Each structure stands twice: as structure tokens, then as C-alpha cells.
């Protein structure tokens, strides 16, 4: 039995799955088992996994009909036997010392869930500074119910499937991942919400994960599906202890308000209106709420503005960055190659 079971859902990621598995096989920590769950891929991804599997008996491949990422991860959880479980999507990668450090610190801190800082790719951005600006810094946490909901919202969203290690019994205790109706957006956030509202947590640095935004799908969509905990708040409130219900309701309201603004700014006024009816309590957020209503009123115009920004923004920003670097008014891009080969975790 391996100490860490790694679960990787696979659906049409032939272009990146080899990179993801290679980052696992390069881990300093070697007592792991990789469970790849092919969720009905129609490309050559499963064949690539089969070829790698023939060279490494720590890799298993499970095939199933397409049921969505939550169901694929739950299939992996059902086969997980080690004390710890980690997750890695087939389009992301780990730095070599991630598992080694994660296992060491989750045992030292005696927490249920541990997350690491990470790099956003292709921007080559270390997200440590971003999270620190929002009060999310390395350390141990356990929510009491009297925290600032704005800060708690950021804490919840820090954890994602690429940068986290969880105790297997805890992952199963809170129902695994949301999998109804082939849910493909927010099913992982719901998983971490249920754990984080109940269990002790820890965050470590330096950055241990390379999160490839360029290969992400639904997270980049303007009209992305509604997260399950917004469509049905009971999916998370039902797991929340009574002394933290008020806090969690405020946090869900914050997330709903931010989601309304996203829909409004992208021209989907009706979707924003429907969400407002489901979360009338967002009116208590004052200025942010009225700003959202203003954006909802102008939603039809915002749609054209967003299209313009998407077309003109990237080339303009690229030109400005190149010009500033030539004038030495902006630092050059950092070289992450050395870190990815072992100097980071």
C-alpha cells in the first residue's frame, strides 16, 4: 500500500497528460500510487498513459464512460487505500519536492488538509504575493465562526485540486466530489468548502505547483455554468456545524455577488437576476451590491466592452510590457526552469 494515492481524472488531455505524469514520476518522495481515471476520452490520452504504465507499476488506469470530473475523482477515491490522497489534473504539474514536503508538514501540523503556494502559467507568476495581499499566508488555520467572511472566502478559494494533500478518511467523510448531472464546474470548490469549514488546515510555501491556465477549459468561459453550491446552497450548508452556519451563509453570499458581477459584465443579465433572487441577502453588502446592480443595469453595453477588451487588450498589454522592459522600467520574466528541475519544492 502506497502512503499517497494520487488521483488524476483524464478526459481528452493527450497534449498534456505526459507532462503531468512526468512531474509525478520526478517526485523526490517515491512512496506513491497514481490512479488515472479515464472518463471516456476520445483522443489518444489513455494510450499515452498505457505506455507510461508499462514502465512504472505504480501507475493504474481505470476506464469509465464519461460522467464528469467529479465522478472521475470519486472513482479514484473509491480505489484510494493510502492514508493520504493528492489530486493532479492532467494539464498541471508538480515541482519535484512537493509530495515530500507535503507529507512532512501534514504530519507535523496534524491537519486534515494541506495546500501549497503555486505558479500561474503561462504568466510565470508566483501567486504567493497575490494571496498574501488577501491575508492568506503560510501557517495553520481552523475556522471558529467569527472570522471576516471576505477573508474566509479567499481562504476557501486558495485550495484547489492541484495544490492540496488531504487525509483520505476526511475526503470520504465529507462526501467526495459533487458529481450530479456530469457537473464540470465548481465540483472541486464544493469539496474543499466542506472540508475547510470543519477541519484544521495548513498552507505552506514556496510554490510547489505549476497551474496551466492556458490548458484550462470552463474556468476561462464567460458564461460558465453555475457552481453547485450556488445552485443549491444546501450541498455545503448541510455539512456545516450550527456555530458556523451564519459565517458560511455570508461567504456564499459574497461568492454569489461576485458571480453576479461576472455574469453582468459579460452581458448575461438574466443569469445575474436569477442569482440575485436566490441570494437576496447580498443586499447587506452595501456598496458592492449597488455596484453590482449598476453593472446589471448596463449589462447589454458591457458585453460589447468586454469583446473590445478581449480583442485589443492582450496585444496592447504585450506591447507595453515589451517597451517597459526595453526601457528597463519593468523586470524581465523570471526563469522558472531551474525551479522546475528541483530547486523549488
Quote the pLDDT of residue 222.
67
Q: Where are the beta strands (DSSP E) in the chain?
A: 4-10, 32-39, 59-64, 84-87, 93-94, 113-121, 125-126, 139-141, 164-167, 201-212
Quote the pLDDT of residue 341.
47
- Consecutive 10-residue averages of pLDDT for the chain (345 residues): 97 97 98 98 98 98 96 97 98 97 98 97 92 97 97 97 97 95 87 98 96 67 82 95 97 95 90 92 92 91 72 79 80 53 53
Three cell numbers written together for 89:
489534473
Residue 70, in any domain of the structure: yes
Residue 234, in any domain of the structure: no
Residue 121, in any domain of the structure: yes
pLDDT tens figures, 85-121: 999 999 999 999 999 999 999 999 999 999 999 999 9
- How many other C-beta atoms are found inside a 10 Å radius of the C-beta of residue 304? 10
Residue 88, in any domain of the structure: yes
Range of the domain at 8: 4-220
Quote the pLDDT of residue 249.
95
> Based on the structure, what is the number of domains in the chain?
1
pTM of the model: 0.86
In which residue are the cell numbers 488521483 written?
7
Residue 122, in any domain of the structure: yes
Q: What is the DSSP string of 275-292?
A: HHHH-GGGGGGTHHHHHH
Quote the pLDDT of residue 168.
98
Torsion of CA 42, 48, 49, 55, to 10 degrees: 160
Residue 150 sits in a domain whose CATH number is 3.90.550.10
Three cell numbers written together for 229:
453550491
Residue 13, in any domain of the structure: yes
pLDDT tens figures, 184-216: 789 999 999 999 999 999 999 999 999 998 766
Residue 57: which H helix or E strand, with range? none
Quote the pLDDT of residue 312.
78
Residue 185, in any domain of the structure: yes
Residue 307, in any domain of the structure: no
Amino acid at each position: 500500500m502506497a502512503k499517497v494515492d494520487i488521483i488524476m481524472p483524464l478526459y481528452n488531455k493527450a497534449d498534456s497528460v505526459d507532462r503531468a505524469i512526468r512531474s509525478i514520476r520526478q517526485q523526490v518522495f517515491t512512496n506513491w500510487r497514481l490512479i488515472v481515471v479515464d472518463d471516456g476520452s476520445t483522443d489518444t490520452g489513455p494510450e499515452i498513459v498505457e505506455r507510461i504504465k508499462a514502465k512504472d507499476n505504480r501507475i493504474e488506469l481505470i476506464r469509465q464512460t464519461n460522467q464528469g470530473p467529479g465522478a472521475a475523482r470519486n472513482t479514484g477515491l473509491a480505489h484510494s487505500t493510502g492514508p493520504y490522497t493528492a489530486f493532479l489534473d492532467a494539464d498541471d504539474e508538480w515541482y519535484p519536492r512537493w509530495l515530500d514536503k507535503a507529507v512532512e508538514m501534514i504530519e507535523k501540523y496534524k491537519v486534515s488538509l494541506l495546500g501549497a503556494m503555486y505558479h500561474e502559467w503561462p504568466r510565470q507568476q508566483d501567486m504567493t504575493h497575490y494571496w498574501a495581499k488577501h491575508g492568506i499566508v503560510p501557517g495553520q488555520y481552523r475556522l471558529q465562526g467569527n472570522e471576516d467572511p471576505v477573508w474566509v472566502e479567499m481562504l476557501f478559494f486558495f485550495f484547489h485540486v492541484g495544490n492540496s494533500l488531504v487525509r483520505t478518511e476526511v475526503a470520504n467523510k465529507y462526501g467526495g466530489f459533487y458529481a450530479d448531472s456530469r457537473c464540470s464546474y465548481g465540483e472541486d470548490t464544493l469539496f474543499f468548502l466542506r472540508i475547510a469549514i470543519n477541519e484544521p488546515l495548513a498552507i505552506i510555501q514556496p510554490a510547489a505547483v505549476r497551474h496551466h491556465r492556458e490548458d484550462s477549459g470552463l474556468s476561462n468561459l464567460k458564461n460558465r455554468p453555475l457552481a453547485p453550491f450556488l445552485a443549491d446552497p444546501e450541498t455545503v450548508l448541510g455539512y456545516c456545524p450550527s456555530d458556523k452556519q451564519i459565517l458560511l451563509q455570508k461567504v456564499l453570499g459574497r461568492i454569489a455577488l461576485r458571480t453576479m458581477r461576472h455574469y453582468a459584465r459579460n452581458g448575461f443579465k438574466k443569469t445575474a437576476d436569477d442569482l440575485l433572487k436566490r441570494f437576496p441577502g447580498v443586499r447587506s453588502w452595501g456598496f458592492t451590491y449597488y455596484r453590482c446592480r449598476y453593472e446589471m443595469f448596463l449589462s447589454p453595453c458591457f458585453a460589447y466592452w468586454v469583446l473590445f477588451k478581449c480583442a485589443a487588450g492582450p496585444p496592447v498589454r504585450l506591447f507595453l510590457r515589451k517597451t517597459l522592459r526595453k526601457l528597463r522600467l519593468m523586470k524581465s520574466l523570471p526563469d522558472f526552469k531551474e525551479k522546475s528541475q528541483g530547486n523549488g519544492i
